[in-house]
Amino acid sequence: MTHVMTSHADPLKIAIVGSGPSGFYAVEALLQSGPDVEIDLYDRIPVPFGLVRYGVAPDHQKLKEVTRVFTRLALDQRVRFFGNVTVGHDVSIAELQELYDAVVIASGAGVDRAMNVPGEDLNGSHAAVDFVGWYNGHPDYRDCRFDLSGEHAAIVGQGNVAIDVCRILAKTVDELRKTDIAEHALDALARSRLRTITIVGRRGPAQMKFTTKELRELGTLTGWDVTLDPADLELDETSAVEMAAPQAAVAAKNLEVLRGYAAKPRSQPREIRIRFFSAPHRVEGDERIKNLVVERTRLSGPAFRQQAEGTGTYRDIAADVLFRSIGYAALPLPGCGAAVAGSAVRPSLQDRPERCGPGPRCRRSRCAPHLRDGVDQEGADRHHRHQPRRQHRNGGEPSRGQSSAASGRPG
Ligand SMILES: Cc1cc2nc3c(=O)[nH]c(=O)nc-3n(C[C@H](O)[C@H](O)[C@H](O)COP(=O)(O)OP(=O)(O)OC[C@H]3O[C@@H](n4cnc5c(N)ncnc54)[C@H](O)[C@@H]3O)c2cc1C
């Protein structure tokens, strides 16, 4: 965090676009940075916390405990929250720049990456992020429909979002009922007839992105075995080099977990299949998807930069429903230029808004999980209580952001 040098006698006025972890970490850094600051947080949805609220799985409440820290920051007298304000639509970056000394962009990376294979757009093929938003009750996704009446699901991607999706698909209704999953999702999942879930990745066990806790949790799901091909756990020379490196500690633990799964005899009626060295090649079906065709891959390239290349051998993976979870990208906000991923939060008195992102993984802290009502109400009350801190230079009216937020119009 760079200290802000300012000649203003008044507090430095900062607008932050986005109230997810990046926005709140920016708030924290600014409050601790020394100069007197006043911060307005804007979000396109009515409630704060971004993907901590709408991304983190509902059965992983502990991960959401970081919202207690965010709540404390939001309640600071120098901070205000304005929900239902889409920057770039309700208020422009240029207007914010007029009203504030600095604008920080922390609007996240909410767009999923496509597989770019034929058939990807058939019914039943979804972005995992849509499913996640739906089961978490995100207003953008409440009207989504997921048909879980088939027996087979496939998930493309081998990171924790893929595991979250798998776990939510696999858990019993009684288990899900104890979480804060959206009611509409609980109803739909109660009707699920899934018997297999296949998690597909292009590369091998040394390159998968799961964390060990999440991978291990798959093996505890009631009624499900985790299976894989033991041959896929044989490391090639370069992967063995990767696995021996200190930074591969998680991968090494994961490998042990996978070996345990491979050695365990089948005992449960349903099956989570982990498939390595499998690149999506096409999605097949008529009106709905039926099948994911994958191409067997091999790895090539130097350690830690190995890429999957096709071998010309194909195999079918039965899939009545498909989720892709192969990465997320940030879209630039109108008027903000290209997204600058990974730059530091650096409030500035210059013309250009600063981008903060794509955002840290949620910190794991220990706090009470269900802050939804408390925080929202506090935020709303404070919003109505406060007079605008700074009048618009041209007319003395509240900023458009404030009046839009007060109207309750959906973002
Ligand atoms: C599906 C999923 C599950 C995840 N699960 C975990 C997990 O279990 N544990 C973990 O540590 N990390 C998890 N992550 C990663 C973590 O959620 C992100 O790293 C983190 O939320 C990024 O924070 P952010 O503030 O940059 O973005 P976000 O959390 O996405 O916040 C961005 C905010 O900006 C707002 N916004 C966007 N555009 C505008 C606009 N034009 N105007 C106003 N507001 C706008 C959005 O509404 C949002 O509230 C997950 C990510 C995803 C996608």
Task: Express each pLDDT in 4-55 by its tens digit.
Answer: 444 556 899 999 999 999 999 999 999 998 779 999 999 999 999 999 999 9
* pLDDT of res. 52: 96
In a domain, 238, yes or no: yes
Average pLDDT, the chain: 83
In angstroms, the first-to-last Cα distance of the chain is: 30
Residue 163: predicted pLDDT:
97
Residues 78 and 222 in one domain: no
Q: How far is CA 93 from CA 88, 103, 125, in A?
A: 6, 8, 35
Query: Is any atom of ligand 1 closer than 6 Å to the C-beta of 55?
Result: yes
Q: For residue range 330-371, list pLDDT tens digits in order.
A: 877 877 765 443 333 333 334 445 544 433 322 222 222 222
Contacts of 375 (CB under 8 A, 6+ apart): 47, 48, 49, 67, 70, 71, 74
- Judge if the beta carbon of residue 104 lies within 6 A of ligand 1: no
CATH number assigned to the domain comprising residue 26? 3.40.50.720
pLDDT above 90 as % of the chain? 74
The reply to whether ligand 1 has any atom less than 6 angstroms from the CB of 129 is yes
**Considering the chain, what percentage of its residues have pLDDT values greater than 70?**
80
Q: If you measure from the C-alpha of residue 298 to the centroid of ligand 1, how many angstroms do you get, rounded to a whole number?
A: 33
Residues 179-198 have a mean pLDDT of: 97
Q: Does 171 lie in the same domain as 125?
A: yes
Give 86's contacts (C-beta < 8 A, 6+ positions apart): 44, 411
Query: Candidates 27, 40, 47, 51: which one to mutate for ligand 1, based on the most atoms within 8 Å of Cβ?
Result: 51
**What's the pTM?**
0.82
User: Which atom from ligand 1 is nearest to the alpha carbon of 356?
Assistant: 26
Average pLDDT score over residue span 188-209: 96
Q: If phi over 0 gives left and psi between -120 and 50 gives alpha, with beta otherwise, what is residue 104?
A: beta
Among 327, 348, 375, residue at a domain's last position: 327
287 and 361 belong to one structural domain: no
- Ligand 1 centroid, distance to 139 Cα (angstroms): 14
C-alpha–C-alpha distance, residues 170 and 166, integer Å? 6
Which of these three, 327, 346, 380, is where a domain ends? Answer: 327
399: containing domain? 12-109+330-407
- Whichever domain contains 122, its CATH number is 3.50.50.60
* pLDDT beyond 50 at 384: no
Indicate which atom in ligand 1 lies nearest the CA of residue 57.
8
Ligand 1 neighbour 181 (Cβ under 6 A): no
Ligand 1 contact, 361 CB (< 6 A)? yes
Does the beta carbon of 398 sit less than 6 angstroms from any atom of ligand 1?
no
Residues 77, 125 within the same domain = no
Inside any domain, residue 154: yes
Model pLDDT, residue 333? 83
Whole-number pLDDT of residue 289: 97
What's the number of domains the chain is made of? Answer: 2
Centroid of ligand 1 to alpha carbon of 360 (angstroms): 9
Same domain, 358 and 379: yes
pLDDT digits (tens, 9 = 90+) for 47-101: 999 999 999 999 999 999 999 999 999 999 999 999 999 999 999 999 999 999 9
pLDDT of 399: 31
In tens, the pLDDT along 112-160 reads: 899 999 999 999 999 999 999 999 999 999 999 999 999 999 999 999 9
Would 47 be classed as within a structural domain?
yes
